[in-house]
């Protein structure tokens, strides 16, 4: 891990962010294709979206870089109080993704810890996230870092049986 630098993302990271955002989208879709969306060319769309967040003072968009190549990222933001979600203002960790070849070395944990620290520095009183029910390794990591279960999302497809 000493050979990895975590830094704020820049517009020049668009291709890597798109590649990993697309990977995140595909991973979720494979876990539950009825719940998670997929689109043609998610790399372009996700890359464009993430780069649009660069420079937002209430956003944390960081990348992990090894030997000049981005090997993972985390995306989080300050969120206001939500009547709909019955949630006080918070930092919200939206994404964390590590290149499959760089996994199992603590990089995901490092990205999450750094995102938490940056959200807290921005004044977040807590950090909230959602994790796919079928993504056991991610849930285990989040629990290790002190996240607790607060909600259970449930989905029912139209025309389903009661």
Mean pLDDT of the residues in the chain: 93
Instruction: Please write the tens of the pLDDT for every residue from 57-69.
Output: 999 999 999 999 9
The per-residue pLDDT for 1 is: 62
Are β-strands 4-8 and 59-66 bridged in parallel, bridged antiparallel, or unpaired? Answer: antiparallel
- If one compares 76 and 41, the residue with the highest pLDDT of the two is 76
Instruction: Please write the tens of the pLDDT for every residue from 71-112.
Output: 999 999 999 999 999 999 999 999 999 999 899 889 999 999
CA distance 118 to 23: 24
74 neighbors 13 (Cβ within 8 angstroms): no
> Which DSSP string do the residues of 112-143 spell out, in sequence order?
HHHHHHHHHHTT-S-EEE---TT-HHHHHHHH
Q: For each of the domains in the chain, give its residue range(s) and CATH number, in order of start.
A: 4-144 (3.40.630.30)
Length of the chain measured in residues: 162
């Amino acid at each position: 891990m000493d050979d990895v630098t975590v830094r704020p993302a820049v517009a020049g990271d668009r291709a890597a962010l798109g590649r990993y955002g697309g990977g995140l989208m595909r991973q979720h879709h494979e876990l539950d294709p009825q719940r998670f969306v997929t689109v043609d060319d998610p790399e372009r769309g996700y890359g464009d979206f993430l780069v649009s967040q660069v420079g937002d003072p209430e956003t944390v968009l960081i990348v992990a870089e090894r030997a000049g190549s981005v090997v993972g990222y985390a995306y989080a933001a300050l969120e206001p109080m939500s009547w709909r979600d019955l949630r006080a203002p918070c930092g919200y960790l939206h994404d964390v993704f590590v290149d499959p070849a760089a996994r199992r070395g603590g990089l995901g944990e490092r990205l999450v810890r750094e995102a938490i620290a940056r959200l807290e520095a921005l004044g977040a009183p807590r950090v909230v996230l959602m994790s796919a029910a079928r993504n056991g390794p991610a849930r285990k990591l989040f629990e290790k870092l002190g996240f607790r279960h607060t909600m259970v999302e449930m989905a029912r497809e139209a025309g389903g049986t009661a």
